[in-house]
């Protein structure tokens, strides 16, 4: 209908609205839930409730603090159901709020774009120490894990080929610059010390060399967002180079439900995980909740357990789990490949 490679004629958001409407109409016409219809379109053998990735600390361009990395998330893969995962996430989130208020003051419990807190911290280890403490105090050590979205394209200084860990400070200097190798050392030290199970966008979207280098040295999920932008050509390049092992799936990046399903299939057929994602600017539409279940993606990233535009998705997932009853299956430890036997 658009005819261009990037939806530049009609615009991806305009095309997406029509695509979502047609998909929802198809489900109504067949008299089945939307997640079942998506499963039918994708040819998925079963539906699965995803592990939620709750944003709890915001940094980067999504908050006003000095923290360079953009998102620090908690990941309850040790839960037995989505309902339990939701409870675990909410408890850790509020425990973290208490800690931040005690350490930094009440004004530091303001939230960023995705609902995570934005305390006055600078280093990623400060954020990770706070989160680990909250997990342990909530009694979820060994059940709750951590994910990081570095959004490193935002801190990349292309002219110098370095990553500025103080890029939000106008008075910053080269003392906070890191080379690709230094960034790899930072990530490896984090993985050694903290219960981190995935890294997202650890390098600039075109820093393919360091993506490949890091992926060869780690065993956790390496998630491509800016790297792949839900585009089949970039996904295929990442597959060919072995640059990452998980796709961040954003429907509005590619523009249609059909193309999003095709991107997910390409990723899955090559052994990748699939992490269905919101955007930092969201609405209360909960389509991606049904998408994650219908694709049996195993993972969803849609912000903190607060704010109506985030909770709309989580509430829909609770409704789907209730609708499935005893047949409900939560991805849990199989989040990377929930269809594995």
For residues 103 and 145, the answer to whether their CB atoms sit within 8 Å is no
What distance in Å separates the CA atoms of residue 17 and residue 86, rounded to the nearest whole number?
29
Q: Considering 71, 91, 114, 154, which one is annotated as catalytic?
A: 114
Active site residue 192: no
Helix axes 82-104, 124-137, angle to 10 degrees: 120
Q: Considering 7, 77, 168, 250, which one is annotated as catalytic?
A: 250
Active site residue 250: yes
For residues 317 and 50, the answer to whether their CB atoms sit within 8 Å is yes
The two tokens of residue 27 are 């489900």
For residues 125 and 61, the answer to whether their CB atoms sit within 8 Å is no
User: Residues with catalytic annotation?
Assistant: 114, 250
């Amino acid at each position: 209908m658009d005819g261009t490679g990037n939806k530049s004629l009609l615009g991806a958001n305009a095309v997406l609205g029509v695509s979502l409407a047609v998909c929802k109409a198809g489900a109504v016409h067949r008299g089945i839930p939307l997640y079942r219809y998506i499963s039918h379109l994708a040819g998925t053998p079963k539906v699965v409730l995803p592990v939620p990735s709750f944003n709890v600390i915001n940094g980067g361009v999504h908050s006003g603090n000095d923290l360079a990395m953009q998102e620090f998330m908690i990941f309850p893969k040790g839960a037995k159901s989505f309902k339990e995962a939701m409870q675990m996430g909410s408890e850790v989130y509020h425990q973290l709020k208490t800690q931040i208020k005690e350490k930094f003051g009440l004004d530091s419990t303001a939230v960023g774009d995705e609902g995570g807190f934005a305390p006055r911290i600078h280093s990623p280890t400060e954020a990770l120490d706070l989160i680990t403490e909250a997990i342990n105090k909530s009694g979820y050590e060994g059940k709750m894990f951590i994910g990081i979205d570095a959004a490193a394209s935002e801190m990349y200084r292309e002219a110098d080929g370095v990553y500025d860990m103080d890029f939000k400070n106008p008075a910053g200097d080269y003392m906070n610059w890191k080379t690709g190798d230094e960034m790899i050392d930072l990530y490896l030290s984090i993985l050694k010390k903290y219960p981190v199970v995935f890294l997202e966008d650890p390098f600039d979207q075109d820093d393919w060399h360091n993506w490949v280098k890091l992926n060869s040295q780690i065993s956790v999920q390496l998630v491509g967002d800016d790297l792949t932008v839900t585009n089949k050509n970039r996904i295929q390049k990442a597959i060919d180079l072995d640059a990452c092992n998980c796709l961040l799936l954003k429907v509005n990046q590619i523009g249609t439900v059909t193309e999003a399903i095709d991107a997910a299939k390409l990723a899955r057929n090559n052994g990748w995980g699939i992490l269905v994602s919101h955007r930092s600017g969201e609405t209360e539409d909960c389509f991606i909740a049904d998408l994650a279940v219908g694709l049996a993606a195993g993972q969803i990233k849609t912000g903190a357990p607060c704010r109506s535009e985030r909770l709309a998705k989580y509430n829909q997932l609770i409704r789907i789990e209730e609708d499935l009853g005893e047949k409900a299956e939560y991805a849990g430890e199989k989040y990377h490949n929930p269809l594995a036997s």
